[in-house]
Amino acid sequence: MERRHFARSILAAAGAIALGAKAQEARPAAAAAAAPAAPLASAAPGLKPFLFEKDETFWYETLRSFGHIAYGGADFGEVVVTAQRIRGGDYDSWHDEWRLTAERVAAEAQKSLAAGHAVSARDGFFRASNYYRSAEFFLHGNPSDPRINAAYDRSVECFRAAVRLTDGAIEPVRIRYEGTSLPGYFYRASGKTGKGRPTVVMHNGFDGSVEEMHYVAAAALAERGYNVLSFDGPGQPGPMHREGLVLRPDWERVVGPVLDHVLARPDVDARRVALLGNSLGGVLAPRAAAFEPRVRALIALDGIYDMSEKTLPLFGGQREVARRVLTAPSAPDIDKALAQVAERDAQARWAFGHGAWVTGKGTARGYLSTLLDYNVADGVAERIQCPTLVCAAANDMFFMGQPEALYAHLTCPKTFLALDDTLGAGAHCHAGAQRLAMARIGDWLDTTFAA
C-alpha cells in the first residue's frame, strides 16, 4: 500500500521530479527572503521561444546553442536553419539534423585547414564540436546506440583540432584519478607572463562536457587573465563514454586529485584558486569546497542546495523512507508511474533515460534514488569557508528556489547574483546571455582575488 500511495504521488508530480526541481512555481518566500533584494521573479515573461514554441525542452537546448555563439561555439544562422529542419519532440530528427550541420561545418573547417587558413579552420572546428555535442544529446535513453559514441568522438576530435590551432593557449591534459585519468584542458591566461597566475578550476554538470565549458566560461575567464583548468569528472561525458565511470556525490574525491594536478604547475598561484561548477555542478562544486580548503573562491553557476527537494515531499520529507522505497528490489507500481510520467513529459523522459545511464542505476527509479545523495544539507554548506558567489536565474526551468536555499545556509563570505529576463538572462545557467553572465562573474572574481 505504501508503494501504491507513492506511485500515485509520483504520477501526480509528473515531470516535476525529473531533475529534482522542474516545477515552475514561484520561488519560495522564505528562501527568497534569505537572499539579498534582487529581481528574482521579474514581471517580464520568460524569453519567448521563436523556435519549438510548444516544446520547452527542445527550445531550451536550442537556446543553449544560441548562448554558445558568444564564445565561438555556434553561429546564429546555423542554429536557426538546423532547428527549422527538426521535428519537435523527435529525438532522431534532432540527432540527424545537428549531425548534418556538424559534418558540413567540420568539412569546411578541414578545407580551410588544408588551404592554410588557420583562423577559419579553428573557428569552424570549435562550432562543429559543439554541434556534434548537441547531436547526441537526446539519445542517452539507449546507451548502446552507436550514434552516441560516434557523435561524441567527433565532438572531441573537432575540439582538439581547434585547440591545436590556438598557438599553445589551450593544452589537453590528463589528470590522475583513482587508477585512471580524467580528461581536461589547461588554458594559459591570455596576455600574461610570469609565475603564479590566479586560476579557475571548472567542470560541467549533469549532461554537459568539458569541451562545452569552453563556451560557457573557460574562454571568457582566460581572456580576463585567468588560467583555467576544465575537466570531466565521473558521470560526465569523457569518463562515462570511455570507461563507464558513473556520477558520484562525494565530489571532493574528484576535485582533490584535480587540485593536486593544477597546484603542481609553477604558473598557478595556490593562494588564488577558484572552483566553478555549472548546472548540476552548482551542488557538486559546493560539496567539494566544503571539504577542500585549497579552494579559495567558489562559484555556483547556478546554486543548488538539495537535488531531492521535489522528491522528498512525496515521502513525507523522510530521506530514509524515500531511499527504502526507491531502492527496493521490486516496486512495479512506482516503475509503472514513472513510465507514464516519461511517456507524457519529454523533459522527464530525457532526464530519466540520461540519469539512469550516468548514475549506473539503469532505471528511472534507481536514478531518482541517487538524487537523495546530491545535496549540501545537514551542515555541509555551513562548512564552506571561502568567498562564494551563488548565481540564480529568475526563470530556471530546473532548479527554482535552489540558489536561495544554498545562499541561506552559507556562513562564509557570500554574494548572491540574480539575473532575470529583463536582461535576457533568466534561463537555466543564463543560457543566451553568456557575455553578461561572465562579465558579472569575472568582475566578482577580480574583486575577490584583489582583496
What's the chain's average pLDDT? 90
- pLDDT category of residue 311 using cuts at 50, 70 and 90: confident
| 192-240: pLDDT as tens digits | 666 799 999 999 999 999 999 999 999 999 999 999 999 999 999 999 9
- pLDDT category of residue 32 using cuts at 50, 70 and 90: very low
pLDDT beyond 60 at 5: no
Residue 122, φ and ψ in degrees, nearest 5: -60, -50
Question: What pLDDT, on a 0 to 100 scale, did the predictor assign at position 190?
Answer: 81
Peptide bond into 260 cis (omega under 30): no
Angle between helix 2-13 and helix 332-344 axes, rounded to 10 deg: 10
Could you please report the per-residue DSSP string of 194-218?
SS-EEEEEEE--SS--TTTHIIIII
Nearest Cα to Cα of residue 137 among 222, 86, 207: 207
Strand partners, 97: none
pLDDT beyond 60 at 33: no
Nearest Cα to Cα of residue 180 among 129, 231, 136: 231
- What does the CA dihedral 161, 165, 170, 176 come to, rounded to 10 degrees? 40
Q: Which of 112, 279, 308, 369 is catalytic?
A: 279
- pLDDT category of residue 3 using cuts at 50, 70 and 90: very low
| 329-362: pLDDT as tens digits | 999 999 999 999 998 887 888 899 999 999 999 9
Question: What pLDDT, on a 0 to 100 scale, did the predictor assign at position 312?
Answer: 86
296, 271 Cβ separation under 8 angstroms: yes
- CA separation for the pair 63, 107 (Å, rounded): 25
- DSSP-derived secondary structure letter, 249: S
Strand partners, 306: 375
- DSSP-derived secondary structure letter, 47: P
Using the CB atoms, write b or e for 411-433: b if 16+ within 10 Å: eeebbbbbbbbebebbbbbbbbb
With residue 258 as reference, give the H or E element that holds it. Answer: helix 252-263
- CA separation for the pair 250, 290 (Å, rounded): 11
pLDDT beyond 80 at 433: yes
Domains of the chain plus CATH, in order, are 2-21+310-371 (no CATH), 52-165 (1.20.1440.110)
- CA separation for the pair 190, 360 (Å, rounded): 39
Query: Cell triple for residue 93?
Result: 530528427
Distances (CA, A) of 54 to 84, 180, 389: 14, 44, 34
- pLDDT category of residue 309 using cuts at 50, 70 and 90: confident
Instruction: Specify whether 112 is catalytic.
Output: no
Question: What pLDDT, on a 0 to 100 scale, did the predictor assign at position 194?
Answer: 64
- CA separation for the pair 222, 301 (Å, rounded): 17
* Residue predicted with more confidence, 46 or 409: 409
Question: What pLDDT, on a 0 to 100 scale, did the predictor assign at position 36?
Answer: 53
Lowest model confidence (mean pLDDT) among 27-36, 221-230, 441-450:
27-36
- pLDDT category of residue 14 using cuts at 50, 70 and 90: very low
Rg (CA), the chain: 21
Three-state DSSP class for 229? strand
User: What order of strands is seen across the sheet that includes strand 297-301?
Assistant: 170-177, 180-187, 227-231, 197-203, 268-278, 297-301, 388-393, 414-419
Question: What pLDDT, on a 0 to 100 scale, did the predictor assign at position 26?
Answer: 36
Q: pTM (2 decimals)? A: 0.91
Question: What pLDDT, on a 0 to 100 scale, did the predictor assign at position 25?
Answer: 37
- CA separation for the pair 300, 429 (Å, rounded): 10
Nearest Cα to Cα of residue 347 among 46, 7, 61: 61
Residue 401: which region, alpha, beta or left (left: phi > 0; alpha: psi -120 to 50)?
left
Please name the residue that has the C-alpha cell 562559484.
299
Question: What pLDDT, on a 0 to 100 scale, did the predictor assign at position 35?
Answer: 53
Half-sphere exposure of 155 (CA within 13 A, CB side): 26
CB atoms within 10 A of CB 333: 18
pLDDT beyond 90 at 168: yes
